[in-house]
Chains A and B, each alone.
Chain A
Amino acid sequence: MNRSARLITPHLINPHQSTQTPTIQNGEAHMTDSLRDTATPTAQSAAVDLNAPVDLPNRIDVTDLNIFYGDFQAVEGVSMTINPRSITALIGPSGCGKSTFLRSLNRMHEVIHGAYVQGSVVINGHDLYGPGVDPVAVRRKIGMVFQRPNPFPTMSIADNVLAGKRLNSRRMSKPDAAELVEKSLRGANLWNEVKDRLDKPGSSLSGGQQQRLCIARAIAVSPDVLLMDEPCSALDPISTLAIEELMLDLKRSYNIVIVTHNMQQAARVSDRTGFFNIKGTGKPGKLIEMDATEKIFSNPGEQETQDYITGRFG
């Protein structure tokens, strides 16, 4: 039950961050308590098999996905089930295709000319790559947070939050807009810090605040899934902690998929972890194994995974 126990796994403890670890344990303990009330199946007891597909809305079923950029195959043969109301972490060395795979979940990789996929990504009975599916519509349902905070520099904090909503429905009454701004900023744990300066530009915030603003902007359109592409890699440890706590909060309502280079982060926040690897430059990335996070970091099924998480990689 106590998931913080796995933090004691020796190879996961980085001496540089040892001061931070207790805080996170507290955070997790707190989160686990609050999760108990919400009757979330995945979090209710350790006896539940995290790998079993959960029959709830917004589950993502990826089947035999191959991703190409022109002639180059970036990802080969990925099949996985991503359960809703949980955090799924994707780890692996640079260039292993995990970010590409994440982007293929809301068709963002298509911004690169010549990108296409084979296989299927099914959510709520709809194949994202089915005929007649509009990538714009896909992205409205599946939000994304990027590696570097990217609030629109010319917009105020409030306008940044409303940016997505304004695309969907041009007219919104003032009270409705104010309510949505407050709700989204509260959801992103940013309200108390910015409530007195909503009309200031988003670029006036600190890096960590900007990233939470981006999360507020993403959840303001009430997406079904939230994709995060190394959301903390440009942030300091305190801001990282704030985002991690926020993720644990958000997973009660969203299906969260996060790509991270920080294995401790994957171990701290995620319920399941997928390990991607690549045989060599120019070769496609593959999903080596996917399992409950605890198992991946204590007793992985593959030697490659073991090598990577213990730092014996390469």
Chain B
Amino acid sequence: MITDTAPQSSPAPDDDFLGGDTGKLGDRVFHGLSLGAAALILATLAAVATFLFKEGLPTFTGDKSELDNTESFVSYVGPLVFGTIYISALALLIATPIAIAVALYISHYSPKKLSHTLGYFIDILAAIPSVVYGIWGIGVLAPILSRSLYPWLDDHAGFLPFFGSDVNVSTSGRTMLTVAIVLAVMILPIITAISREVFLQTPRLHEEASLALGATRWEVIRQAVLPYGRSGVISGAMLGLGRALGETMAVAIILSPADGYFWNVITNSNSNTIAANIALQFPESSGLEVNRLIATGLVLFIITFGVNAIARKIANAGFSGADG
């Protein structure tokens, strides 16, 4: 008997060997879904922008007699833009140093267990609804500040235009400074979270370089950690600023607004913000007044858009030079 050692029969060419469509369907479906999600975002953005433009436009073309005051749009929105940027900048000025300090404590000083707990509580700050912040601001913070901090500032720092003593200090505490402090608390979590992440990402090599030169812990932070994290902190601050610019409820509840440009942050005369102004005026508006409010919304949209664009630019520019 002869044993055939050759293959029994040459196998039929396997169509799936290289050209099969295994998994292709899943690929296509997922591609379609993710493309759809991305397109949805763009579509929403475009829809909002179109709405703002379309509804805001009559402000400039419509019959001015429908308005209760016939001032130009620029003189109407000017104080609001000023108030929005002024209060938000103030909030940012208060929040950023605290956020950096907290982030550094979590990333470089605290024991591991404590840093987790602390990070958790800071994230909870971000989950508190802004209306709760508003109520807390007017019910708790404003009275305390108007009794303690504001008279002190008026007495001791009155030479500064921000606390000038030619006008009376607010007794209710419903001032721009109170709002700025509340906004600072609200934007603290996001700035802290982003700063903490970039500080933790500081390459060990850079920290060791610094340590080996005989740097103390603070010097390591100054020499290696902060320069590395600078762009991250700035973009975190910009995101916080974006949130502060658009905050409505807390401002509307706390602030006692007036029409005009006011530098003094502790009086009863306060520039309002765009968002709070819309919230307060909308229920009582009709006709062209509504269009005017929407036009101010468009201005806020552009400001926020600009802030985000700047944040993105800084974040991208910063990391390219700092490779691990």
Contact = CB atoms under 8 A, between A and B. Distances in A.
Interface of A: 106, 108, 111, 136-141, 143-144, 146, 148, 150-155, 163-164, 167-168, 201, 203, 214, 217-218, 221
B206 A150 contact: yes
Contact of A146 (B205, B223, B322, B323): B205
B209 A139 contact: no
Contacts of A152: 206, 209-210, 223-224, 227
15 contacts: A137-B214, A139-B214, A143-B213, A144-B212, A152-B210, A152-B223, A152-B227, A153-B227, A153-B322, A155-B227, A164-B213, A167-B219, A201-B321, A203-B322, A217-B209
Given A164-B213, A218-B213, A153 B206 contact: yes
A52 B203 CA distance: 41
B228 interface: yes
B211 interface: yes
B286 interface: no
Contacts of A141: 214
Contact of B214 (A111, A150, A168, A203): A168
Contacts, number: 75
Contact of A153 (B208, B210, B215, B228): B228
B72 interface: no
Q: Which 8 pairs across A and B sit closest by C-beta, in order of nearness?
A: A140-B214, A164-B213, A144-B212, A154-B227, A150-B205, A139-B214, A150-B209, A153-B322
A146 B228 contact: no
Contacts of A106: 212
A133 to B, nearest CB: 13
A217 B212 CA distance: 10
B228 A217 contact: no
B216 interface: yes
B227 A146 contact: no
A141 B210 CA distance: 14
Contact of A139 (B206, B213, B224): B213
Given A108-B211, A152-B209, A154-B227, 13 more contacts: A108-B208, A111-B207, A139-B212, A139-B215, A140-B213, A144-B212, A150-B203, A150-B205, A150-B206, A150-B209, A153-B228, A153-B321, A218-B213
A139 B211 contact: yes
Given A148-B205, A154-B228, A163-B223, A218 B212 contact: yes
Contacts of B219: 167
B173 to A, nearest CB: 43
A163 B322 CA distance: 17
Contact of A167 (B207, B215, B227): B215
A136 B215 contact: yes
Contacts of A150: 203, 205-206, 208-209
Residue in B205, B209, B214, B323 with the greatest tally of chain A CB atoms within 10 Å: B214
A217 B215 CA distance: 13
A138 B205 CA distance: 19
B212 A167 contact: no
B164 to A, nearest CB: 38
Interface string B191-208: 000000000000101111
Interface string B143-162: 00000000000000000000
A140 B210 CA distance: 11
A214 B210 CA distance: 11
Contacts of A111: 207-208, 211
A146 B212 contact: yes
A203 B208 contact: no
Residue in B203, B212, B213, B224 with the greatest tally of chain A CB atoms within 10 Å: B212
B322 A154 contact: yes
A168 B223 CA distance: 13
Residue in A108, A138, A153, A155 with the greatest tally of chain B CB atoms within 10 Å: A153
Contacts of A153: 206, 227-228, 321-323
Contacts of A151: 209
Nearest to B322: A153
B212 A108 contact: yes
Nearest to A137: B214
A111 B220 CA distance: 12
Contacts of B216: 136
Contacts of B228: 153-154
Contacts of B206: 150, 152-153
A201 B206 CA distance: 15
A149 B321 CA distance: 15
Contacts of B214: 136-141, 164, 167-168, 221
B213 A221 contact: yes
B253 to A, nearest CB: 43
B317 to A, nearest CB: 12
A297 to B, nearest CB: 30
Contacts of B230: 154
A164 B223 CA distance: 10
A164 B216 CA distance: 11
Contacts of B205: 146, 148, 150
